[in-house]
């Protein structure tokens, strides 16, 4: 599903950003967050990789609904880190990075901690 961004300032047309692009942006933001060990496969990405299709948004699921962006992050954290603070930092980094790159707000960033390594 694509997210649509309509600019009222010009009549140049419509901009659509695919959910795969948002997944890549979010995954970069997560891996740059201090305390993150790695992104983890969720069920869907694991099945895509099994059939040989490269899944770039590994560990990130983006859903767009009524032009709202909802993101789920599946992550493994590093040891000796404050879990709550690291999860909040992930939420802030993902929201801010997508806002900076697409000028669109993220409604939700849900962090699922799969493992601590």
| Residue-level pLDDT at 82 | 95
pLDDT at 56 over 70: no
Q: Identify the CATH number of the domain in which residue 75 sits.
A: 3.30.70.1350
| Residue-level pLDDT at 94 | 97
Q: Which residues pair with residue 33 across a beta bridge? A: none
Cα four-point dihedral sign 64, 61, 55, 24: positive
Environment class of residue 59 by beta-carbon count within 10 Å: exposed (0-12), middle (13-18) or buried (19+)?
buried
Which residue range is the domain that position 108 belongs to?
Answer: 2-6+19-116
All residues at 6 or more sequence positions from 53 whose CB lies less than 8 Å from its CB, including other chains? none
Whether 12 maps to a domain, the answer reads no
Whether 26 maps to a domain, the answer reads yes
Environment class of residue 40 by beta-carbon count within 10 Å: exposed (0-12), middle (13-18) or buried (19+)?
middle
Return the residue matching tokens 């009222």: 8
- What's the total number of domains in the chain? 1
Counting residues of the chain whose pLDDT is more than 70, the rounded percentage is 79
Whether 64 maps to a domain, the answer reads yes
Distance CA 96, CA 116 (A): 25
Whether 13 maps to a domain, the answer reads no
Pairing of strands 68-77, 60-65: antiparallel
Whether 83 maps to a domain, the answer reads yes
pLDDT digits (tens, 9 = 90+) for 67-113: 889 999 999 999 999 999 999 999 999 999 999 999 889 999 999 99
């Amino acid at each position: 599903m694509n997210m649509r961004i309509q600019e009222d300032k010009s009549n140049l047309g419509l901009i659509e950003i695919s959910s795969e692009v948002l997944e890549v942006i979010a995954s970069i933001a997560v891996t740059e967050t201090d305390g993150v060990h790695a992104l983890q496969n969720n069920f869907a990405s694991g099945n895509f990789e099994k059939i040989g299709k490269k899944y770039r948004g590994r560990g990130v699921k983006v859903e767009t609904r009524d032009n709202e962006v909802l993101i789920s992050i599946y992550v493994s954290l590093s040891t000796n880190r404050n879990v709550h603070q690291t999860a909040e930092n992930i939420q802030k980094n993902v929201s801010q990075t997508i806002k900076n790159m697409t000028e669109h707000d993220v409604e939700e960033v849900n962090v699922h901690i799969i493992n601590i390594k």
